[in-house]
Amino acid sequence: MRTALVTLAAVLLSIALAALLLVGTQGAAIQEGDEAIYAENAREMADDGDWATLRWQGEPQFPRPPLSVWALAVGRALVGRAHPEAAVRWPLALAVGLELVLVGLLAAYLGRRAPSERPRVGVGIVAAGLLLGSDLVVGYARFVESEPFLCAAIVGAALAWELARERPRAIVAWGVAVGAAAMTKQIIGCIPLLWPIVDALWARLQRAPRPAMPRRRLLVGLAVAAAVWLPWHLVALARHGRAFLDVYLLEAVVRRGAKAVLHVTRPTYYLRELWRSEGAGALLFAAGLVAAAVAVVRALARRGTTDEVARERGRVAALLLGWTLAPMALFTASASRYDHYPLVVYPALALALALALDAIPVKRNLRLALAAVAVALGLGTHTARDLTAPFVGADELRTLAGAANQRRPRAVYLFNLHPYATRFYLDRAIAVQTLLESQRDLEEGLSAARKGQPVVLALAPNPVAALREAPPATLLVLPRARAAFLDGATDVEVVAATARYLLVGLR
């Protein structure tokens, strides 16, 4: 009964948090970039009924496992075509809301000073508040990437692992969460496997007579994870063979890690991004990691003693350090670096800081005051700003796509523009192609396409000339900044216009 009530409360709180995170997004178009790519993948999956393959303009895509797109496709199937933006944004916000709730539960559980002690709700509230006060977390609760779904699975796996130490059946939930994480990202989704590794190493360092997790129980969890992870991979391999492996592993992982896809950055990129996005909050997170490192050193110094509290705090601190440092090292070593990648370590940062604040050797009221200040700093600086700032979508491209749908062209060309938001709002029968002005842009675009970026490209120094050579009933989206191409083109008419773009076609 108690478990059912906790589950119900967690679900309701996740929904409430999702509604909060979506404040101000109503009516705004899907944003250009990855959000529109995920949205289009989900549209084609739900509309065609092929849940085994990601597609863009009908062509198979293998940049990642499909779990995050499955969530969006379920949203589309439930909400339908009447609210295409809500179908995409609500599953994402629910994932972040669930992540916040799970972080709170995990912190309350880890904050206990003894196994017999009840979970400490106050520590959980602080950890969830610190995460909600993070700029990156709130920002990507409002723009679709796969990381929020991955974070929810990782935190769920962490909570299930801790529960499984005392409740054997919880290992099944751990296996499901591990499989879900690996079905969201093919390499970084393996983060939950750090738990058995770190626990085993910690037990060895402490010279424990028995492993932290019985081997049979661990094997059950791994078998469940494999049962979640393996079927889709076998289906994809059987359907697409070498083409699947080439993109899924070689291009999307190996070559993407060896060469930047879009932006060339320095190894200090993530440190600078953390400071840019979190400001003083980054210093607090760093302090939490330092406190975790100190807890590990103290526990190792007391190895062999009967200080169970220090030993357990050291184990938890080692887990949080591994959760943070291992992914960040991998991200830094990769040539392709993006600001949303560190989202997977934010729960560990919030947990480390919450536990550090709770361990400060001062009176309880002062500890509570310090924790309240830390949470208020993030909520007031980042959350309030992000939720009240104007939400910008690809509204002009949505308008032009609607005008194009009325004309029912065979194709729509976009000059020097990403095609993703336009593709999402156009009828499926209308093909989309990007025209690029320079050979260098074309080569970079083709390189990104080989790594899983969906796009159809052509070189067109003169877009009006390309429009004349295109099949009949083709339209062109042209930035107003390049409207000079229309000078003297008496055979071209403006079909629709917005502040920044023109939709043109042949008379």
Q: What is the pLDDT along the chain (507 residues), one digit of tens a residue?
A: 677 888 888 899 999 999 999 999 998 999 999 999 999 999 999 999 999 999 999 999 999 999 999 999 999 998 877 789 999 999 999 999 999 999 999 999 999 877 778 888 999 999 999 999 999 999 999 999 999 999 999 999 999 999 998 899 999 999 999 999 999 999 999 999 999 999 999 988 887 666 678 889 999 999 999 999 999 999 999 999 999 998 898 888 887 777 776 677 888 999 999 999 999 899 999 999 999 999 999 998 887 677 788 888 999 999 999 999 999 999 999 888 889 999 999 999 999 999 999 999 888 889 889 999 999 999 999 999 999 998 989 999 999 999 999 999 999 999 999 999 999 999 999 999 999 999 988 888 888 777 778 888 999 999 999 999 999 999 999 999 999 999 988 999 999 999 999 999 998
Domain spans, the chain = 2-388, 395-506
Could you tell me which CATH number the domain at 395-506 has?
Answer: 3.40.1380
Residue 264 exposed, middle or buried by CB count within 10 Å (0-12, 13-18, 19+): exposed
What residue has token string 């699975």?
153
**147 CA to centre of own chain:** 2
Spatial CB neighbours of 36, under 8 Å, sequence gap ≥ 6: 30, 394, 418, 420, 421, 423, 424
Helix, strand or coil for residue 504? strand
- pLDDT score recorded for residue 209: 61
Angle subtended at Cα 460 by Cα 459 and Cα 466, rounded to the nearest 5 degrees: 125
Contact criterion met (CB below 8 Å) for 382 and 281: yes
pTM recorded for the entire structure: 0.94
Residue 10 exposed, middle or buried by CB count within 10 Å (0-12, 13-18, 19+): middle
Task: Give the CB-side neighbour count of residue 178, counting CA atoms within 13 A.
Answer: 27
- pLDDT score recorded for residue 212: 73
Q: What is the dihedral of CA 136, 332, 156, 453, to 10 degrees?
A: 80
- Compute the distance between CA of residue 195 and CA of residue 184 in angstroms, rounded to an integer: 18
DSSP string, 390-450: PP---HHHHHHHHHHHHH--SEEEEESS--HHHHHHS-TTSEEEEEESSHHHHHHHHHHHH
Contact criterion met (CB below 8 Å) for 176 and 228: yes
DSSP string, 296-328: HHHHHHTTTSS-HHHHHHHHHHHHHHHHHHHHH
**261 CA to centre of own chain:** 18
Interstrand relation of 501-506 and 457-459 (parallel, antiparallel or unpaired): unpaired
Contact criterion met (CB below 8 Å) for 437 and 460: yes
Q: How many CB atoms lie within 10 A of CB 500?
A: 10
Residue 222 exposed, middle or buried by CB count within 10 Å (0-12, 13-18, 19+): middle
**CA-CA-CA-CA torsion sign (349, 353, 359, 364):** negative
